[in-house]
Amino acid sequence: MSALAVELLLAINRLFPVSPNLREIDQAKGSVADYQEWERQELLRVAQSFGPYWDFAGKDVLDLGCGLGGKTVAYAQLGAASVTGLDLRSQSLRAASEENSRHNPTPSTVGFCLSDAAKMSFADESFDLIVSVNVLEHVEDLYFALAECKRVLRPGGLMLFHFPPFYSPWGAHLEGWINFPWPHVFFADRTLLQAAHRIELRQRRNTAYIPTAQVRWGELTHLPELNRVTTQQFEHLLSALGIQVLDQKMLPLGYHYFAQPGPFHLQILSLLRCLAWTPLVREVVTTKMSWVLGKVADVNDEQQ
């Protein structure tokens, strides 16, 4: 049955050409510099979804899961007083630090910290702004990471989080190997891994990618580095931790394309936006979520 499922998946995959978006990411994974440039370019789109909250001027900023640092350096250039890029991977932090020396006219405003987001060593209330793009779906202990964010955020500070829910079209993070959306909704992990491994053996994608983008499909038992958080589970975590939601955008698939002029684009976009707010349906229609979160003062603090 499993072998049949793998053959079916591979047959479906052959029907889907690589979309321009996937090709862009694929090419970016070819070198550290290209990937950092892609990280920076992506910010233009991310910024739009945060509107007036996208304001770094004079703030002490934590870039949670900074990766290769393309965005970290951009935050400094947006006028942050200081930026701390935090990541689990020392290899990424080395590249991020080099990026900062090369592209930041004021490199001393940026520092880096090797740490798990769930166990940060910063003092309480250290940052005005915590920004995290494409990271929270990877964090293993999401509850503790969010609790830590709340702890290190100053009162009145903001958290800006942008990431895909698990059941989003590309939530399985198989792009580069599997080209069609929602493969993880239709196929079991084992099937996905075997298919990705077969494609890797044929196409040798890993040889064209920088080390942080390579995946050893043949050695895995489940989709790697994913906590599988859904929109609903994320809402529950926020409410359990008493984190205040100031703004929340559920960006539907194709939102970028249908925002451009075209026949019926506005109508289609409105429909997709409605679906992205419909319970259950939103889990699969939402491609990215943008959250603006704040810190509600503790009852004990208010009484003092």
Ligand X SMILES: C[S@@+](CC[C@H](N)C(=O)[O-])C[C@H]1O[C@@H](n2cnc3c(N)ncnc32)[C@H](O)[C@@H]1O
H or E segment to which residue 198 belongs:
helix 189-203
Applying CB under 6 A, which of residues 26, 55, 98, 116 lies at the interface with ligand X?
A: 116
The verdict on 88 binding ligand X (CB under 6 A) reads: yes
Applying CB under 6 A, which of residues 133, 152, 159, 253 lies at the interface with ligand X?
A: 133
Q: Which is nearer to ligand X, 89 or 190 (CB)?
A: 89
Q: Are 223 and 232 in contact (CB under 8 A)?
A: no
What is the smallest separation between the CB atom of 66 and ligand X, expressed in angstroms? Answer: 6
Nearest partner of 80 among 163, 160, 164, judged by Cα: 160
Stretch that binds ligand X, among 80-88, 193-201, 229-237, 260-268 (CB under 6 A): 80-88
Q: How far is CA 9 from the centre of its chain?
A: 26
Tell me which residues in 12-41 interact with ligand X (CB under 6 A). Answer: 39
What is the smallest separation between the CB atom of 274 and ligand X, expressed in angstroms? Answer: 28
Tell me which residues in 36-65 interact with ligand X (CB under 6 A). Answer: 39, 65
Binding mask 134-163 for ligand X (x = CB under 6 A): xx--xxx-----------------------
Q: Which is nearer to ligand X, 145 or 284 (CB)?
A: 145
Stretch that binds ligand X, among 23-31, 133-141, 281-289, 294-302 (CB under 6 A): 133-141
Q: Residue count of the chain, please give it.
A: 304
Alpha-carbon separation of residue 295 from 82, 159, 229 (angstroms):
21, 9, 22
CA dist 288 and 21 (Å) reads 15
Applying CB under 6 A, which of residues 29, 59, 71, 205 lies at the interface with ligand X?
A: 71
Nearest partner of 174 among 148, 156, 195, judged by Cα: 195
Give the SS3 label for residue 163: strand
Binding mask 92-111 for ligand X (x = CB under 6 A): x-------------------
Strands lying side by side in the sheet with 110-114:
110-114, 82-87, 60-64, 127-133, 153-163, 286-295, 243-252
Residues that bind ligand X (CB under 6 A): 39, 65-67, 70-71, 86-89, 92, 116-118, 133-135, 138-140
